């Protein structure tokens, strides 16, 4: 069901016009919304936001778990002309409030049980926005309940004037300074990816898309909008089911999922513990993965389990959307030990490999991958300094510096060789180790802290080294509890080691290589 849409809100308009009675989205409990019902909920929210003066150029926060209201809220915010700012509802309220305040949101759609905590954690530097509260809560004069918003009979405003360069959503990623940074993506950015999907990934109106990625994770863009563009059904997967391979395997079977997209680590767990190799298991037709390297042994097992599925390895930081892709072959040779490439550029993206001076390097030489094209972000919200540093300007073209080291095999197919900075991936999430260190330093007893990542079979394990202030004794339980106040669960260190002093270089900087050697020796 292709469209000529240029604004994400138009996708729902078309789906509602062409397939009003088809199920648009369903949750884990089996509750569902048709495209007509989803459109009406989105329209009612857009109407309320319009009455509050929210529109084109504004931002609206989303602090909701995976549920029908979250999908309706996303479409409603877009319909109003504003951009949505999704925040991990499992993260501490202080982190969520800090992100939403940084984005300058005019309103927040929030679950009732989180509303008070979010309001109390809001920075004192600015006004608290209006809340639209999903569920029962104590009333606040500036709040509106979700049910009341949906029951409002006020006439819908005229659709705002749209521009495809308007911000559609802002996704906050881990920041090395301890302050998450907001990646601004426009409607044009999103459609550069969606158009490639439309031309390359075969989806159908009869498909059932798994929504495994949380909405603050960039993998959700495919789930939300490719399914809507096709007039298909989006099936929401909650956090607890999403992390349990046994439940997840059963979920795939019962819900007849035909299109899947997640981090490789989830698929590896499914292949090992999800009972997806049982006779009669309804394997998805299309399986996409991105966010981290898929170890070839685990991928081989998945390929043997689902021999006829179309498997795609996608690559792209949040700042570029997906920008390269590689189709996994029908069979993977048993002798293969190296991971597959990240693939070739997804048109209209263009890319090259450069050295530290920004000069192109010949094929086969390791260098940094830089990306240009309509899929590349507008910049970091409120941070022109970070935006300027993120780009290489060459012949009036702005190339985004991915920070990823790759080689070009000479045909434009790229192979990943790691990171050039201290950013790591864990279950597909991008983590700046400096943000974890910043949280550890907020503990009054910590004198010095350093965090490294250790490679494991299922991704990365975060190891924190702590030197306490003189006379104080460290507690692993206390420090982990402290981290949960400032960091989402996936960023809390898996292991904490206490040292009397952290190793340092000649310039008194933390000797990270020395810490890595400590971890390496401990593992032998």
pLDDT in tens, 113-158: 999 999 999 998 888 999 999 998 666 766 899 999 999 888 887 6
Kindly state whether residue 79 falls inside one of the protein's structural domains: yes
Kindly state whether residue 39 falls inside one of the protein's structural domains: yes
Identify any residues that bridge with 340 across adjacent strands, giving them in sequence order: none
**How are strands ordered across the β-sheet holding 181-186?**
144-145, 130-134, 107-111, 59-63, 83-86, 167-173, 181-186, 379-380
Kindly state whether residue 125 falls inside one of the protein's structural domains: yes
**Where does a domain end: 243, 262, 290?**
243
Task: Note the pLDDT of residue 325.
Answer: 98
Tell me the residue range of the domain where 166 lies. 8-243
Q: Yes or no: say if 34 and 26 are a contact pair by the CB < 8 Å rule.
A: no
Identify any residues that bridge with 424 across adjacent strands, giving them in sequence order: 431
In whole angstroms, give the CA distance from residue 69 to residue 460: 33
What CATH number has the domain bearing residue 109?
Answer: 3.40.50.980
Q: Quick one: average pLDDT of 63-78?
A: 97
Angle CA(505)–CA(509)–CA(515) in degrees, nearest 5?
70
Q: Yes or no: say if 418 and 406 are a contact pair by the CB < 8 Å rule.
A: no
Kindly state whether residue 152 falls inside one of the protein's structural domains: yes
Kindly state whether residue 238 falls inside one of the protein's structural domains: yes
**Where does a domain end: 243, 268, 287?**
243
Token pair belonging to 352:
């090259």
In whole angstroms, give the CA distance from residue 307 to residue 116: 49
Angle CA(107)–CA(109)–CA(115) in degrees, nearest 5?
95
What CATH number has the domain bearing residue 486?
Answer: 3.30.300.30
Token pair belonging to 522:
């401990």
Task: Note the pLDDT of residue 139.
Answer: 63
pLDDT above 80 for 509: no
Kindly give the residue spans of alpha helices, DSSP state H, lying in 26-111.
Answer: 35-51, 68-79, 93-102
**Where does a domain end: 181, 209, 243?**
243
What pTM does this model have? 0.88
Tokens 């906050």 -> residue = 172
Give the phi and the psi of residue 321 in degrees, each rounded to 5. Answer: 60, -170
pLDDT above 60 for 2: no
pLDDT above 90 for 77: yes
pLDDT digits (tens, 9 = 90+) for 457-479: 667 899 999 999 889 999 999 99
Number of structural domains, the chain?
A: 2
Q: Yes or no: say if 434 and 422 are a contact pair by the CB < 8 Å rule.
A: yes
In whole angstroms, give the CA distance from residue 181 to residue 435: 11
Kindly state whether residue 201 falls inside one of the protein's structural domains: yes
Kindly state whether residue 409 falls inside one of the protein's structural domains: no
In whole angstroms, give the CA distance from residue 128 to residue 35: 33
Kindly state whether residue 458 falls inside one of the protein's structural domains: yes
């Amino acid at each position: 069901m292709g469209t000529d849409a240029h604004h994400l809100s138009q996708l729902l308009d078309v789906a509602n016009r062409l397939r009003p009675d088809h199920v648009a989205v369903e949750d884990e409990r089996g509750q569902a919304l048709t495209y007509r019902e989803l459109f009406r909920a989105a329209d009612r929210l857009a109407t309320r936001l319009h009455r509050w003066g929210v529109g084109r150029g504004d931002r609206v926060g989303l602090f909701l778990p995976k549920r029908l209201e979250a999908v309706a809220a996303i479409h409603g915010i877009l319909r109003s002309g504003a951009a949505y700012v999704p925040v991990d509802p499992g993260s501490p309220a202080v982190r969520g409030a800090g992100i939403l305040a940084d984005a300058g949101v005019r309103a927040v759609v929030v679950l009732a049980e989180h509303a008070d905590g979010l309001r109390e954690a809001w920075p004192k530097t600015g006004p608290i926005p209006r809340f639209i509260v999903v569920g029962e809560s104590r009333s606040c004069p500036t709040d509106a309940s979700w049910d009341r918003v949906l029951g409002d009979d006020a006439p819908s405003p005229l659709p705002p004037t749209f521009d495809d360069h308007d911000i559609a959503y802002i996704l906050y990623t881990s920041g090395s300074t301890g302050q998450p940074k907001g990646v601004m993506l426009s409607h044009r950015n999103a459609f550069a990816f969606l158009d490639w999907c439309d031309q390359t990934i075969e989806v159908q109106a009869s498909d059932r898309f798994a929504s495994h990625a949380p909405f603050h994770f960039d993998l959700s863009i495919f789930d939300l909008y490719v399914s809507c563009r096709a007039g298909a059904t989006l099936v929401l997967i909650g956090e607890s089911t999403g992390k349990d391979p046994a439940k997840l395997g059963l979920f795939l079977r019962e819900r007849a999922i035909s299109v899947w997209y997640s981090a490789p680590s989830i698929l590896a767990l499914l292949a090992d513990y999800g009972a997806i190799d049982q006779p009669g298991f309804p394997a998805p037709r299309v399986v996409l993965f991105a966010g981290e390297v898929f170890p070839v042994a685990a991928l081989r097992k998945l390929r043997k389990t689902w021999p006829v599925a179309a498997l795609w390895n996608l690559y792209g930081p949040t700042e570029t959307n997906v920008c390269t892709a590689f189709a996994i072959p029908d069979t993977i040779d048993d002798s293969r030990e190296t991971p597959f490439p990240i693939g070739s550029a997804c048109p209209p993206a263009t890319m090259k490999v450069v050295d530290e001076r920004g000069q192109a390097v010949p094929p086969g030489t390791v260098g940094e991958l830089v990306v240009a094209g309509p899929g590349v972000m507008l910049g970091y919200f409120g941070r022109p300094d970070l935006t300027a540093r993120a780009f290489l300007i060459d012949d009036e073209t702005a190339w985004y510096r991915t920070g990823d080291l790759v080689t070009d095999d000479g045909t434009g197919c790229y192979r990943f060789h790691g990171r050039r900075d201290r950013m790591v991936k864990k279950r597909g999430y991008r983590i700046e180790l400096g943000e974890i260190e910043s949280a550890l330093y907020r503990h009054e007893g910590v004198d010095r802290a350093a965090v490294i990542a250790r490679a494991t079979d299922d991704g990365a394990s975060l190891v924190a080294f702590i030197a306490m202030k003189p006379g104080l004794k460290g507690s692993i339980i206390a420090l982990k509890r402290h981290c949960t106040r400032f960091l989402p669960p996936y960023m809390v260190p898996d292991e904490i080691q206490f040292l009397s002093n952290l190793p340092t270089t000649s310039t008194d900087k933390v000797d990270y290589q020395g810490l890595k050697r400590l971890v390496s020796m401990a593992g032998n």
